[in-house]
Structure 1
Amino acid sequence: MADPEEHPADLPGCPSAEGSGLLPAELRAWMLLLAATGAVEQRLRAVVKEKLDISHDEFLILCLLAEQPEGGLRMTRVSELLGRPKTRLTYQIACLQHTGLVTRGSVCGDKRGIEVALTDKARRLLTEASAPLAETVRQALARFMGPDQRAALCALVPDLAEESRAE
């Protein structure tokens, strides 16, 4: 594993966003983006554990729920959005419920549906931890997302490139 204190110049170079390899531009861009986000996740894991005392996967569940304007989400939808098996999600939700961060309840009119929602405790913790977590993401992206990754992101989301030029 690479030393987290390495300087970006010391890290091996990423494949070019324009590349001359076998992959089409979209797949090459996606792979570069995954590499950058993987580096961010590694940095974020430690801060999430320190600030919230939960796993990274549990943090992702809280983030999904935090973006819901009202109520919560069905567990099947959380499973779809995170690409996690329902059995794994059930375990993670049980852990979050045990710590008082989420509630589970039946969906009105659907005996089999289960909805998960944040508790006030979770909202408070997320609010308190948001600044250091956001700073961790910003620093990691600044460090690991070089010109090739930025170009890859712009290739995947062309509107983003146009917005950047307008600023």
Structure 2
Amino acid sequence: MAARDEHLDDQPTCPSAGGSGLLPAELRAWMLLLAATGAVEQRLRTVVKESLDVSHDEFLILCLLAEQPRGGLRMTRIAELLGRPKTRLTYQIACLQRTGLVTRESACGDRRGIVVALTDKARRLLQEASGVLADTVREALSRFVGPEQREALSALVPDFADEPRQPQEP
């Protein structure tokens, strides 16, 4: 854990929520959120590579598939959800397939469609690494999301913490 923590001091702190007043509160809060998630993502890249030996973008694909039924998702849907070009996604899926972490099959009833699913190997690796990955996210968020950022985000979505979570539709 000490090896992971040594890089935290090298990271810049998130900008403050105070700002100069040039940006509206909603845009300032959005920029604070982007800065915080960017900092978390930067920290997570190293841990993902060490834990799973995949790139961060490949990790995002694995996480997306992990939250789906075992049947997987169509590649076009993965591209939409991750905001990635289909050509880049095709390369990343091929890399994951070569390492035995995903399977690709033709979609039932549509020979042009490709469905991607996690393998049991990928499920096992994600389960084994989930603790250290969750700790990394938690530690990075606690470092980069301070009281000013929380206040800005609460102003952006005032009742966010009070609202019950609704299940998301695929």
Q: What is the TM-score of this pair, normalised by structure 1?
A: 0.86
In structure 2, C-alpha distance between the alignment counterparts of 1:39 and 1:13, rounded to whole Å: 8
Percent same amino acid among aligned pairs? Answer: 77
Answer yes or no: is the 8 Å Cα contact 1:102–1:118 preserved in 2. yes
| Count of residue correspondences | 158
1:13, distance to aligned residue in structure 2 (A): 6.4
Over the aligned positions, Cα root-mean-square deviation in angstroms equals: 2.0
Residue 33 of structure 1 aligns with which residue? 33
Structure 1 partner of 2:15: 14
Q: CA deviation at 1:5?
A: 3.8
- Cα deviation code 1:18-65 (max 9, x no counterpart): x44222222111100000001101110010000000000000000000
> What is the CA distance between 1:69 and its match in structure 2?
2.7
User: Using the alignment, how far apart are the partners of 1:13 and 1:115 within structure 2?
Assistant: 39
Over 3 Å counting, the alpha-carbon distance change for 1:143 and 1:15 in structure 2 is closer
Which amino acid is the alignment partner of residue 6 of structure 1? D
Change in Cα spacing, 1:13 to 1:38, as seen in structure 2 (3 Å) is: closer
Alignment of 1:42-53 (within 5 A): 42-53=42-53
In the TM superposition, 1:1-167 aligns within 5 A as 4-6=7-9, 14-16=15-17, 19-162=19-162
The answer to whether the 8 A contact 2:13-2:144 is kept is no
Cα pair 2:14 2:145 within 8 Å, conserved = no
Name the SS of the counterpart of 1:159 in structure 2: coil
CA gap 1:58/1:7 in 2 versus in 1, 3 angstroms? closer
Task: Letter of the 2:21 partner, please give it.
Answer: G
Normalising by structure 2, report the TM-score.
Answer: 0.85
Unaligned runs of 5+ in 1: none
SS of the aligned residue for 1:158 comes to coil
